[in-house]
Amino acid sequence: MTGLTDNRPAILVAGIGNIFLGDDGFGSEVLRRLPRNLAPHRRSARVRATDYGIGGMHLAYDLLDEWDALVLVDALPVQGHPGRLHVFEADTEGHTGAAGLDAHAMDPTAVFAGLTALGGVAPHTVVVGCEVASVDEAIGLSAPVAAAVPDAVRAVREVVSRLLDRTALPGTG
């Protein structure tokens, strides 16, 4: 696939999470701090960054458009190190659409299941995630997760750059 009915590589950067549940708002905060133009030297690229919050079906509907890649920015369950960043490729296959039509479900599995239910196929997906300290009802990130936001912004920019290099067509880079 290349880019929303034109030949430019297309990447969607999606911040997900609930800002009213403490560190679950990580994706939204990273998106808020991203520069407007994630590909300043790549006029041949189409990169869109959107904070989806808890709008899982909105993201699933947007993924029905032709995207070469998706970068999900999200909070991750703690594995012993709140504030630790993880960058990895997501498993986008095998999600059934049966349980995928909850308009507010925002975890990646629910988004991919919703997309499948709508007849879509997920693009290559990279997750930039941060281990949480707390997802209790609160507005604002914990200190370790807030401290990880600048590094997450850099990670998103690096992932987008690598994805653009990977999806660039001859003569478009």
Per-residue pLDDT of the chain (173 residues; tens, 9 = 90+): 444 455 678 999 999 999 999 999 999 999 999 987 777 666 667 899 999 998 878 899 999 999 999 999 999 998 999 999 999 998 877 655 555 444 445 678 888 888 999 999 999 999 999 999 999 999 999 999 999 999 999 999 999 999 998 765 444 44
Structural domains of the chain sorted by starting position, each given as residue range(s) with its CATH number in brackets: 8-166 (3.40.50.1450)
Rounded-to-5 percentages of helix, strand, coil across the chain: 30, 20, 45
- What does the alpha-carbon distance between residue 68 and residue 122 come to, in Å, rounded to a whole number? 9
Exposure class string for 53-74: b at 16+ Cβ within 10 A, else e: bbbbbbbbebbeeebbbbbbbb
Burial status of residue 36 (CB atoms within 10 A of its CB: 0-12, 13-18, 19 or more):
exposed
Structure tokens at 162: 């690598």
Q: How far apart are CA 16 and CA 70, in angstroms?
A: 12
Total-model pTM: 0.86
